[in-house]
């Protein structure tokens, strides 16, 4: 007899509802839940791999401690006691400590509500995270314009007639900062109502292939395109529509003269998008029910914050911000925005000099420097929670070397990874089906007003712990070892219940738990007038730092593009960052870690499809097979990230057998967004040549 259990898939931001069929503890199948209020039965291949994560033979179940190159298992109590003692000892020496938080932590509401205790116990002032490799420009702009780092607007796709996606690939990523499960069918429905999807991307992506138009753009130059679109929109008049006009501050008046200062032909020449295409996009976006949205491709670049600002401004200028079919601000079951601080934009002193600090983060571009600086500010104690910076942060080899010098490193991870292999202790969480789930950070980004809770699908195996228990029990052990009283911890469920009750929908956790298919509060509603959190409750259209950044961009406009090829990143629907390569069913098929290159560029280098190429950047080089394809623009090459599992000592055997190379052995931590501190991970200048020739030349 098998049983079926409903839960939310925790792997990506889409938050799909799944049906897990169990025979005892054995997973028989994982399918889409057709009754789920948001995903309506959609799942991607990664959902089925949850079974592989749950049953992964390489997954750690007990704490391990490294002595030299050998790992020894120990019981939880001993692990917590030993770590706590070492923390106290290092605290006594005045050692500086820090955290690195990885992406999966954002999908675990319980850990998200508890890890602050551990941070307090350790006394860590600094947090690095995957956010500064990803979406910090969005938070920066949201804070500057709307007064809260997390107050985000998403395309109202179910009612839109026209969406422009700039630098996002939801057909592979399933949406980001836009919880839009079943993206494909939502697009089909839009197209069936006569709507259009346009994709601006240097690569003809999976999303570009289902779109009505692909607009190739040179990596890192979208600022010019966005300025051009905004100029054309404002040329038709810069009076804001009623409803928005009252909300916007007087800095709005600065914008038209600012963008009119740019010559449209020069903007067009810079980004490679013809003037007539820029004009046509502006005209279409000026229509009702139109939206422009930009993601990784326009975030992880030098002008990431400027780009995200221009995108908000285009939606504002067309009147489509906070309007049906445009971009709208979700009002989810759990109103996170009202319950966490506004965040802020400050600075932080680092070995690299003064850097921006958004939401209290130290930009991860400074990670290796802070671990290796030669003064008393060196980070000697590091806690890595669900992260793999050796593969995800720029200049992986340098990051590796920096980790090797720590006095204490503790990793919360279920594998000995490229990163955790440097830890002194690894504390592994239980399997994914043994945890509960709530759509904590993703309700505020969803295409409907929504929330979903799922209980654990399987009872916990004996002797394992959830991430949140590890964090809070270790925190308690440290408080105890410090001789301080152990503070009273609220459990994740208590915290969740309190936050749900305090939200406008006002449901209790017990009530939410009755809704096995999620709670649907209906389509998005205009609400900005009640949500602005700036001091004067106005939308700040043209904050000074962004206007100044625009002038800085203007000065770069005529720089001649380098001779080098421009390296960008791609995602694949069967992968997720660095950590799903241990699933047999996801890695099967042809090698996916290939360098895509345009036929003209391949020919010029004597590279046939499948040939081995040497790719070199300022910081490193890799050898990888090329895939010759017209799907990338001339001058652009593309690699996936999260591979490079050849490093010695990792425990994920399947991943190691499909090692690939790490894109981040080529990316450069010297490049970052000046306003937000975000890393620049696309548009890396590289040379590409045949591997044999490279060898012969040495
Ligand atoms: N060049 C380039 N670099 C990039 C990107 C890019 O586009 N280009 N993308 C960036 C982006 S968007 C992101 S978000 C980052 C991701 O950067 P990271 O978050 O540093 O890396 P992940 O690959 O997500 O690694 C997650 C780790 O957590 C572990 N893990 C998985 N689930 C759990 C869990 O439930 N509990 C615990 N304790 N551990 C778990 C996995 O085994 C893995 O080791 O990479 C960034 N790096
Ligand atoms: N299957 C899968 N899903 C994922 C992930 C994954 O690794 N695999 N990762 C998850 C995470 S952590 C995140 S943050 C999201 C990211 O979600 P997305 O942002 O939707 O995904 P990306 O593939 O990074 O899309 C970035 C696009 O920008 C393009 N691009 C690169 N440079 C430029 C440029 O200069 N200009 C323009 N216009 N485009 C450019 C790239 O070709 C790529 O198509 O995906 C999430 N979902
Ligand atoms: S799109 Fe795939 S990985 Fe993402 S939540 Fe849905 S099933 Fe899971
Ligand atoms: Mo991400």
Q: For residue range 641-651, what is the model confidence (pLDDT) as tens digits?
A: 999 999 999 99
Report yes or no on 637 lying in a domain.
yes
Domain boundary at 31, 55, 79, which? 55
Q: Report CA(298)–ligand 2 centroid distance (Å).
A: 9
Using the atom order of ligand 3, give the atom closest to the CA of residue 11.
3
Ligand nearest to the CA of 130: 1
Ligand nearest to the CA of 177: 2
Cβ partners under 8 Å of residue 449, min gap 6: 330, 331, 332, 333, 443, 520, 521, 522, 523, 524, 525
Total count of residues recorded for the chain: 698
Pocket of ligand 3 (CB under 6 A): 9, 11-12, 14-16, 43-44, 46-47, 174, 181
Does residue 317 contact residue 252 with C-beta atoms inside 8 Å?
A: no
Distances in Å between the Cα of 329 and the Cα atoms of 19, 336, 341, 446 are: 30, 12, 18, 9
Q: Report CA(391)–ligand 1 centroid distance (Å).
A: 8
Q: Report CA(474)–ligand 2 centroid distance (Å).
A: 35
Mean pLDDT of 125-144: 96
Tell me how many degrees the CA angle 333-334-339 measures, rounded to the nearest 5. 150
pLDDT tier, 559 (very low <50, low <70, confident <90, very high otherwise): confident
Report yes or no on 333 lying in a domain.
no
* Ligand 2 atom 23, closest CA: 571
Q: What is the CATH number of the domain that holds 16?
A: 2.20.25.90
* Substitution site in 43, 136, 172 for ligand 2 pocket (most atoms within 8 Å of beta carbon): 172
Q: Report CA(175)–ligand 1 centroid distance (Å).
A: 16
Tokens representing residue 409 in the block: 């490193």
Tokens representing residue 176 in the block: 């980001």
Helix axes 304-317, 544-556, angle to 10 degrees: 110
Of 220-234, 366-380, 587-601, 682-696, minimum mean pLDDT range? 682-696
Does residue 449 contact residue 120 with C-beta atoms inside 8 Å?
A: no
pLDDT tier, 479 (very low <50, low <70, confident <90, very high otherwise): very high
pLDDT tier, 515 (very low <50, low <70, confident <90, very high otherwise): very high
Q: Report CA(12)–ligand 2 centroid distance (Å).
A: 12
Q: Does position 695 have pLDDT exceeding 70, yes or no?
A: no
Does residue 53 contact residue 46 with C-beta atoms inside 8 Å?
A: no
d(CA 110, CA 385): 13
Q: Report CA(130)–ligand 1 centroid distance (Å).
A: 7
Q: Which DSSP symbol is given to 432? A: G
Report yes or no on 443 lying in a domain.
no
Report yes or no on 51 lying in a domain.
yes
Q: Report CA(632)–ligand 2 centroid distance (Å).
A: 15
pLDDT tier, 6 (very low <50, low <70, confident <90, very high otherwise): very high
Q: Does position 57 have pLDDT exceeding 90, yes or no?
A: yes
Strands 162-166 and 290-294: parallel
Question: What are the pLDDT digits (tens) for 480-510?
Answer: 999 988 888 899 999 999 999 999 999 999 9
Count Cβ atoms below 10 Å from residue 623 Cβ, excluding itself. Answer: 14
* Ligand 1 atom 35, closest CA: 104
* Substitution site in 175, 577, 637 for ligand 1 pocket (most atoms within 8 Å of beta carbon): 577
Mean pLDDT of 349-353: 96
Into how many domains does the chain fold? 2
Tokens representing residue 408 in the block: 């204490």
Q: Report CA(12)–ligand 4 centroid distance (Å).
A: 9
Which residue, among 136, 133, 128, has the nearest Cα to 367 in the 3D structure? 128
Q: Report CA(365)–ligand 1 centroid distance (Å).
A: 15
Label residue 447 exposed, middle or buried (CB < 10 Å: 0-12, 13-18, 19+): buried
Mean pLDDT of 122-135: 94
Using the atom order of ligand 3, give the atom closest to the CA of residue 573.
2
Q: What is the CATH number of the domain that holds 669?
A: 2.40.40.20
d(CA 602, CA 260): 40
* Ligand 2 atom 8, closest CA: 576
12 lines ligand 2 (CB under 6 A): yes
Q: What is the pLDDT of residue 171?
A: 98
Tell me the average pLDDT of the chain.
96
Report yes or no on 596 lying in a domain.
yes
301 lines ligand 2 (CB under 6 A): yes
Tell me how many degrees the CA angle 274-279-283 measures, rounded to the nearest 5. 150
Q: Report CA(393)–ligand 2 centroid distance (Å).
A: 15
Residue ranges in 55-159 assigned as alpha helix (H): 76-92, 109-122, 136-146
Strand (E) or helix (H) holding 492: helix 492-501
Ligand nearest to the CA of 18: 3
In the chain, what is the greatest distance between 2 CA atoms, to the nearest angstrom? 71
Does residue 473 contact residue 79 with C-beta atoms inside 8 Å?
A: no
Residue 252: φ, ψ to 5°: -50, -40
Cβ partners under 8 Å of residue 229, min gap 6: 278, 281, 282, 285, 292, 310, 314
Q: Report CA(11)–ligand 4 centroid distance (Å).
A: 11
Question: What are the pLDDT digits (tens) for 392-450?
Answer: 999 999 999 999 999 999 999 999 999 999 999 999 999 999 999 999 999 999 999 99
596 lines ligand 2 (CB under 6 A): no
* Substitution site in 12, 54, 577 for ligand 3 pocket (most atoms within 8 Å of beta carbon): 12
Percent of the chain whose predicted confidence (pLDDT) is above 90: 96
Pocket of ligand 1 (CB under 6 A): 102-104, 108, 130, 133-134, 296, 386-389, 392, 412-415, 417, 429, 467, 569, 577-579, 641-642, 663-664, 667, 681
Report yes or no on 267 lying in a domain.
no
* Ligand 1 atom 27, closest CA: 387
d(CA 345, CA 240): 28
* Ligand 2 atom 18, closest CA: 168
* Ligand 2 atom 40, closest CA: 297
Q: What is the pLDDT of residue 484?
A: 82
Domain boundary at 15, 31, 55, which? 55
Find the domain containing 47 and state its range.
Answer: 3-55
Report yes or no on 305 lying in a domain.
no
Q: Does position 636 have pLDDT exceeding 70, yes or no?
A: yes
* Substitution site in 46, 104, 442 for ligand 3 pocket (most atoms within 8 Å of beta carbon): 46
172 lines ligand 2 (CB under 6 A): yes
Report yes or no on 252 lying in a domain.
no
Does residue 20 contact residue 27 with C-beta atoms inside 8 Å?
A: yes
Q: What is the pLDDT of residue 694?
A: 60
Q: What is the pLDDT of residue 692?
A: 80
Edge-to-edge, what's the strand order for the sheet holding 26-32? 3-8, 17-23, 26-32
The sign one gets for the Cα dihedral 255, 260, 265, 269 is: negative
Q: What is the pLDDT of residue 696?
A: 60
Cβ partners under 8 Å of residue 437, min gap 6: 7, 8, 10, 107, 108, 109, 452, 453, 454
617 lines ligand 2 (CB under 6 A): no
Residue-by-residue DSSP string for 507-553? --HHHHHT-TT-EEEEE----HHHH--STTSSB-SS-HHHHHHHHHH
């Amino acid at each position: 007899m098998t049983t079926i259990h409903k839960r939310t898939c925790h792997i990506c931001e889409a938050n799909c509802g799944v049906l897990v069929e169990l025979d005892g503890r054995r997973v028989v199948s994982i399918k889409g839940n057709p009754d789920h209020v948001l995903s309506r039965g959609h799942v991607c291949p990664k959902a089925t791999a949850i079974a592989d994560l749950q049953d992964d033979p390489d997954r750690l179940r007990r704490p391990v401690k490294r002595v030299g190159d050998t790992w020894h298992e120990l019981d939880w109590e001993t692990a917590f006691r030993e770590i706590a003692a070492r923390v106290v000892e290092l605290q006594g020496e005045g050692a500086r400590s820090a955290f690195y938080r990885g992406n999966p932590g954002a999908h675990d509401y319980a850990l998200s509500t508890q890890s602050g205790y551990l941070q307090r116990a350790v006394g860590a002032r600094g947090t690095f995270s995957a956010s500064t490799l990803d979406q910090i420009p969005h938070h920066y702009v949201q804070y500057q314009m709307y007064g809260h780092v997390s107050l985000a607007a998403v395309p109202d796709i179910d009612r839109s007639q026209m969406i422009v996606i700039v630098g996002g690939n939801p057909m592979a990523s399933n949406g980001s900062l836009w919880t839009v499960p079943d993206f494909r069918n939502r697009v089909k429905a839009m197209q069936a109502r006569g709507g259009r999807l346009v994709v601006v991307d240097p690569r003809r992506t999976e999303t570009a292939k289902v779109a009505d138009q692909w607009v190739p753009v040179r990596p890192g130059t979208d600022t010019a395109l966005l300025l051009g679109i905004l100029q054309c929109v404002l040329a038709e008049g810069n009076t804001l529509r009623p409803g928005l006009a009252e909300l916007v501050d007087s800095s709005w008046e600065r914008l038209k003269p600012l963008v009119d200062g740019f010559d449209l032909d020069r903007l067009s020449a810079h980004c490679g998008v013809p003037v007539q295409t820029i004009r046509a996009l502006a005209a279409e976006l000026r229509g009702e029910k139109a939206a422009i949205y930009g993601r990784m491709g326009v975030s992880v670049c030098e002008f990431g914050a400027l780009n995200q600002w221009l995108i908000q401004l285009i939606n504002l200028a067309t009147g489509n911000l906070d309007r049906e079919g445009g971009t709208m601000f979700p009002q989810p079951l759990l109103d996170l925005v009202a319950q966490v601080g506004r965040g802020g934009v400050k600075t932080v002193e680092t070995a690299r000099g003064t850097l921006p600090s958004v939401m209290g983060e130290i930009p991860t571009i400074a990670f290796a420097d802070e671990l290796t600086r030669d003064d008393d500010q060196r980070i000697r104690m590091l806690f890595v929670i669900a992260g793999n910076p050796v593969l995800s942060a720029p200049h992986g080899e340098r990051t590796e070397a920096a980790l090797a010098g720590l006095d204490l490193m503790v990793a919360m991870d279920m594998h000995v990874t490229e990163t955790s292999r440097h830890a002194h202790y690894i504390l592994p969480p239980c399997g994914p089906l043994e945890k509960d789930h709530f759509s904590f950070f993703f309700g505020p980004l969803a295409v409907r007003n929504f929330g979903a809770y799922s209980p654990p699908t399987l009872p916990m195996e004996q002797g394992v712990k959830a991430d949140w228990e590890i964090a809070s029990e270790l925190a308690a052990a440290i408080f105890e070892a410090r001789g301080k009283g152990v503070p009273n911890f609220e459990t994740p469920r208590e915290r969740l219940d309190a936050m749900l009750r305090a939200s406008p929908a006002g449901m209790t956790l017990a009530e939410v738990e009755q809704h096995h298919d999620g709670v649907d509060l209906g389509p998005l509603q205009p609400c900005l007038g009640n949500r602005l959190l700036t001091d004067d409750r106005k939308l700040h259209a043209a904050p000074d730092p962004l206007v100044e950044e625009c002038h800085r961009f203007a000065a770069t406009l005529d720089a001649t593009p380098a001779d080098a090829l421009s390296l960008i990143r791609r995602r694949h629907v069967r992968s997720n960052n660095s950590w799903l390569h241990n699933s047999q069913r996801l890695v099967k098929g042809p090698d996916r870690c290939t360098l895509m290159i345009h036929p003209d560029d391949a020919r010029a280098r004597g590279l046939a499809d499948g040939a081995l190429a040497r790719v070199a950047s300022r910081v490193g080089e890799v050898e990888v097979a090329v895939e010759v394809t017209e799907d990338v623009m001339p001058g652009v090459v593309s690699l996936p990230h999260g591979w490079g599992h050849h490093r010695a000592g990792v425990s994920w055997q399947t991943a190691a057998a499909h090692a690939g190379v790490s894109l981040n052995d080529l990316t450069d931590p010297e490049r970052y967004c000046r306003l937000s501190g975000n890393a620049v991970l696309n548009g890396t200048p590289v040379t590409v040549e045949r591997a044999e020739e490279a060898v012969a030349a040495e």
